[in-house]
Amino acid sequence: MRIDIITILPKLLEGPFNDSILLRAQKKGLVELNIHNLRDYATSKHKNVDDYAFGGGAGMVMMIEPVFNILNHLKKATTYDDVIYMSPDGEMLNQKIANSLSLKENLIILCGHYKGIDERIREHLITREISIGNYVLSGGELPAAVLCDSIIRLLPGVLNDEMSALEDSFQDDLIAPPVYTRPSDFNGWKVPDILLSGDTAKVEQWKLDRAIERTKERRPDLQN
pLDDT of 99 reads: 96
Instruction: Give ranges for CATH 1.10.1270.20 in the chain.
Output: 169-223
Residue 114: pLDDT band (50, 70, 90) is confident
pLDDT of 172 reads: 78
Q: Which tens digit of pLDDT belongs to each residue from 154-172?
A: 999 998 765 556 556 567 7
- Cα–Cα distance, 77 to 126 (Å, whole number): 18
Q: Which tens digit of pLDDT belongs to each residue from 33-82?
A: 999 999 999 998 899 999 999 998 888 999 999 999 999 999 999 999 99
- Provide the terminal-to-terminal Cα distance of the chain, rounded to the nearest Å: 33
Q: Which tens digit of pLDDT belongs to each residue from 127-137?
A: 999 999 999 89
Taking the CA atoms of 119, 47, 56 and 133 in sequence, report the sign of the dihedral they define. Answer: positive
The mean of the pLDDT values for the chain is 93
Determine which helix (DSSP H) or strand (DSSP E) holds 64, and give its type and residue range: helix 64-77
Q: Which residues, at least 6 apart from 184, have a Cβ–Cβ distance to it below 8 Å?
A: 190, 191, 196
pTM greater than the 0.85 cutoff: yes
Instruction: Give ranges for CATH 3.40.1280.10 in the chain.
Output: 2-152
Question: Yes or no: is domain 169-223 CATH 1.10.1270.20?
Answer: yes
Question: Over 70: is that where the pLDDT of 192 sits?
Answer: yes
Determine which helix (DSSP H) or strand (DSSP E) holds 190, and give its type and residue range: strand 189-190
Percentage of residues of the chain with pLDDT beyond 90: 84
- Please, are residues 103 and 1 in contact by the beta-carbon 8 Å criterion? no
pLDDT of 107 reads: 98
pLDDT, average across residues 92-105:
97
Q: Candidates 3.30.1480.10, 3.40.1280.10, 1.10.230.10, 2.60.120.10; correct CATH number of 2-152?
A: 3.40.1280.10
Question: Over 60: is that where the pLDDT of 104 sits?
Answer: yes
